[in-house]
Amino acid sequence: MASNVKLSTGMRNQKLDGGIGSIFDGGKLQIYDGAQPASPNDVVGAGTLLAEITLPTPAFAAASGGSRLKAGTWEDLLANASGTPTWARLITSTDTGVSSTTEKRIDVSAGLTGGAGFDLEFTAALVINEPLTIDSFTLTEPAA
């Protein structure tokens, strides 16, 4: 039997504020090219780490409407490599980088603006040693 679970906006906000809460404060946003792993439990395989942004504290604003917007400035003053982002991973400040079901991670799609509606969009490919700022990023808890 298919699940018919549906969440109210208040429940979605609670899951985002209570479940994710401050877990990514001081964590990192790692931006890659190449193939995205099948699961956030997996280590990063192929692909290049294009940029790594240390997240501020708090990393996200309070949830509203079932979503949390990024808070503060998310920037990397010097991109690690040149390339077109294809995915990104949010990790906690204590993430060990090993394959694990205990690490708390979120993987998202990435690409150039105007593409297939990526979770994280860029106006141009990243260029090594050039600055990168993430202007907007939203985590949304699905209603169903």
Host H or E run for residue 122:
strand 120-122
Distance CA 78, CA 100 (A): 29
φ, ψ of residue 64 in degrees (nearest 5): -150, 135
Residue predicted with more confidence, 136 or 52: 52
94-117 pLDDT tens trace: 998 888 888 999 999 999 987 778
Q: Is the pLDDT of residue 45 over 90?
A: no
47-87 pLDDT tens trace: 899 999 999 999 999 999 999 999 999 999 899 999 999 99
Tokens of 93: 């400040």
* 124: helix, strand or coil: coil
Q: Is the pLDDT of residue 2 over 80?
A: no
φ, ψ of residue 70 in degrees (nearest 5): -60, 150
pLDDT for the residue 109: 93
Q: How do the domains of the chain map onto residue ranges?
A: 9-140
pLDDT for the residue 20: 87
pLDDT for the residue 98: 86
Q: Is the pLDDT of residue 9 over 90?
A: yes
Half-sphere exposure of 51 (CA within 13 A, CB side): 30
Predicted TM-score (pTM) of the model is 0.91
Q: For residue 136, name the pLDDT band (cuts at 50, 70, 90).
A: confident
- Strands 67-69 and 138-140 turn out to be antiparallel
